A and B are shown apart, each in its own frame.
Chain A
Amino acid sequence: MAKSFWQNRTRLSAAGIVFGILLCSTLMASQNGGLPGSPLRLSAGAVASGTGGAYSADPEFMLSWYNPAQLSLLRDTRASVGAGLRSLGRTEGWASFDFRVPPRMGMGLSFVYRGDPFLDDMYDGYYDQETVVEEKSLGAMNYSFLTMKIGAGYLVSKRLTLGASVAIMHQSLPAIPQEGKMLNSTSTSIGAFDIAAAYKINKKMILSAVLRNIGARNTWNISSEDGYGQTVEEQIPLSLALAGSYRGSLLGRDLVWNLDLVNYIFDADLTLFDHPEMVVGTGVDWSFRDDLCLRAGFSDLELSSELYRRSDEYWDGFSPRVTLGFSYQLDKLSEGMAFNYALTTDRVWAGIDQQFDITFVF
């Protein structure tokens, strides 16, 4: 009787916390495009993307990326490698390797590339009042954002695990056209931390909290025409992901429901944003057959006070992603291997985003 009560209270508390943050955030929130580290907001991996990017509570792959605390719960070794092509030429690639370190630990490594190698229809020149001056093609250019994370998790108790990861980031951005070539500005960030905690309420439900980008600072080396560049430092804002995962069943088949509430409330100095942002992603993962799993969800649903303050603008900018995906087991080829595919809308209807990867469990 007492155990049941405790369980109910936990669920009630978790729901209360989520509801409270949701309510507080919606009072002030708005969409904050253009903040440093925007490529980091996209979900990495076809499994994650298929379920609306809601992957922080109980990830199967790329644990050091999503939730290093869960590394300690690994019972096997997992790896993934994949690529994605998003609308307007945005591309990505990733790889991960997660393994158990008995008795209470797990470790993981993940690598994510994001960029735009199709910056090939751009021009130099300018408008002098109404007249076009010196318009010429800039030639092919390339933007890239590389991130590597190394994480570790520790099993504190039967229900509670903690984890942390450290990241290295590097960006290269075309900056100065000069004599037919393009000088790039680069930025490097070393030592950005994520810390995570996961709590297993029961066999069906896990709640997690992941605080990302602690101390993440991009140090930009800005190119200049005279060769004397400057160094500019910018901070990637913190994000707090509150996530839950619930395992149930549908039509006699396993069903997992995931939910991520990602909050952008503080900057790197823990100063409250003028307009904090809360983004919801959620999705389900249904085992349609033993070898086929179907996924669906939506992500990037902005919870914003503009919904009632300026509803026209809210709906004008309303742009969640709709996601679909599947996994197909390739055990015939190799035990534990699977092919994963995800298809998502891109928020601006310029095209669709596609991701695929191969995952291994051994």
Chain B
Amino acid sequence: MRRTDRRTICGLPYLLSFVLLTAAALCAAPLKATRQLTSNNIIELAGSGDTLWLATERGFNYQLDLGSEEWYGFEKDNHSFVSLAFGGGGAAALFYEESPYEKISFWYYDHEDDQQKESSFNFDYELRQKEDVISPNGLLYSSGYFWTACGSGGLIRFDPNSDEIRAFRPDNEGMVPEDLLPDTTTPNNTSVRAVSDFGNSSTLLVTSPSMLWTFDPSSSEWDTLVTDTVIASGDEFSSFHAAFTPLRGRDSVLYSYIDVKMQDTTETGLYRFGKRTSSWSKVLQRTPLLVSPAVEGYYYTVFKDNQLASYNDTLSDSADVDVFLDEQLDGSEFRNWLTKASNGVFPDVNDMLFIPESESAGTFLVATSGGLFIIDSEEPLSDSRSEAALVRYTRKITSKECYALPGVIRASQDGRYDRAVFVYRLKQDGDITIKVYDYNMSLVKTVVSGARREAENSIGRSTEPQEDYWDGTDGSGHMVSPGVYYFKITSTGGERFFGKVILAK
């Protein structure tokens, strides 16, 4: 459950109105299919059972047999990606287009039919001018539909079967007729910030700034769930951000990110609603950026600086907030454990997902900017963990391919763009020589001379990245002039490769 602080909705006058215009189904061009991971920057996870879906920086991927090496997917630059959800035999992704305040689109892929489709939803022109009004947030599958929270637009529902997109708002007690929008009588507190499952029921838990709601998709009825805004610590309640319940069981337990006014500032914290006291108590002293419910009472959290931790909420009724959660594993230790699994470098955590397999165990997945961690048979109740597998994208190359990575280098000294590694794959083991030439084909530098290389290493390449690189210098160690440079790789096996690299200063 991600804090919904990307675009705040508060503040804007009651307003607004809006409404939607059309639920027009678009016949957009289908996304290009791929059989490999589209990027190592994995933004969001979704799935259940054996099916896993990923939203990455450059598309979507899925596998129908969780943990297998087979990846399927679709390529798309996800600059305007909002969220991904899986359910009902397919996966849907939500996008905004041009700006978050003009149009949202649902892309849907049906596993059974192997078909893609896309539908768009245009907001009223006046509404587009008020940027806090329409802010799509999250995507959820429930009762045969995909749902997103969309500011004063309320809940937006996408029907994958009919492509219909409709809006529901708390104050309208049902579906908003298309011709009623925009509605300027909408009270501010019914602008919607987040939607999530409500326990095991098919009811949706909807967060608005001043109260929590339930919404029954079958009857389209709204109900007020929590209006108490008493903070046990005596701090002044400001507004709800996003609420969620445990993954299974404990239907009475409810959590929410809440803005609390302190003396001079407003701080957001993770709170739990106590039925006995009818008040909100702070769950953790530090506010986690992400919370992922696991088995009953257990949660995975991510704090600032990518500190991961698992916690057990004992539901102790003590007033001491520290007692509410028993720390199972120190955050830094968990992080170190994953760091070791990723060979020393642990990137940013973008999302987490726990897919239950039994009452006490499941598969735990951590989506990061540098790959996907998969921990099988994870038992949050246990102190021990099985080995994490790190899935990263590596392009398969043929024995005819040869290029520099990155193709454009400069004297950045950032460890990324300040050297070009020569990527190649020999047909047979041999001693290789790599030379770099300028445009005139004058020799700039002999980078490697007579070094032994295997035909294929663990990722299907012959490259030895610690040696097979050029840093933009000549044989004397001086940086050479900006330009296009050419390299030649020869092996004693009789193979020759040519490629290009740009030195951009």
Contacts and interface: CB of A to CB of B under 8 A. Distances in A.
Contact of B406 (A34, A114, A126, A130): A126
A285 to B, nearest CB: 23
B40 A133 contact: yes
Contacts of A232: 505
B483 interface: yes
Interface string B406-442: 1110100001110001010000000000011111111
B500 A119 contact: yes
Contact of B465 (A31, A127, A234): A127
A300 B403 CA distance: 27
B77 interface: yes
Given A132-B394, A173-B483, A173-B502, A125 B406 contact: yes
Contacts of B443: 31, 33, 317, 319
B111 interface: no
Interface in A315-347: 316-317, 319, 346-347
Interface stretch (A104-112, A135-143, A195-203, A243-251): A135-143
A173 B482 contact: yes
Contacts of A131: 343, 392, 394, 459
B347 to A, nearest CB: 9
Interface stretch (B262-270, B323-331, B473-481): B473-481
Interface residues of A, number: 63
Interface string B1-42: 000000000000000000000000000000000000001110
A114 B459 contact: no
A128 interface: yes
Interface in A115-129: 116, 119, 121-129
B500 A274 contact: no
Contacts of B406: 123-126
Contact of A127 (B39, B408, B421): B421
A140 to B, nearest CB: 12
Contact of B481 (A38, A114, A141, A174): A38
Contact of B484 (A119, A134, A179, A319): A119
B505 A185 contact: yes
B404 interface: yes
Contacts of B439: 38-39, 42, 90, 114, 116, 145
Contacts of B337: none
Interface in B352-406: 370, 392-395, 403-406
Nearest to A177: B408
Interface string A10-45: 000000000000000000000111111111011000
Contact of B482 (A130, A185, A274): A185
A234 B481 CA distance: 8
A319 B441 contact: yes
A135 B41 CA distance: 11
A128 B343 CA distance: 10
A123 B442 contact: no
Contacts of A223: 504
Contacts of A222: 504-505
A319 B442 CA distance: 8
B344 to A, nearest CB: 7
Contacts of A175: 408, 410, 502, 504-505
Contacts of A218: 481
A193 interface: no
B337 to A, nearest CB: 18
A179 B415 CA distance: 21
Contact of A122 (B408, B458, B482): B408
B392 A133 contact: yes
A129 B416 CA distance: 11
Contacts of A128: 345, 370
A134 B403 contact: no
B505 A347 contact: no
A179 B80 CA distance: 12
Nearest to B504: A175
Contacts of A124: 405-408
B465 A130 contact: yes
Given A33-B437, A33-B444, A126-B417, 10 more contacts: A32-B474, A34-B444, A34-B474, A38-B442, A41-B440, A125-B406, A126-B406, A173-B483, A174-B504, A222-B504
| 6 residue pairs, one from A and one from B, having the closest CB atoms | A34-B480, A122-B407, A33-B442, A33-B444, A175-B504, A36-B481
14 contacts: A33-B436, A33-B443, A38-B438, A41-B442, A122-B500, A122-B502, A123-B407, A126-B417, A127-B465, A129-B343, A131-B394, A134-B41, A138-B408, A175-B505
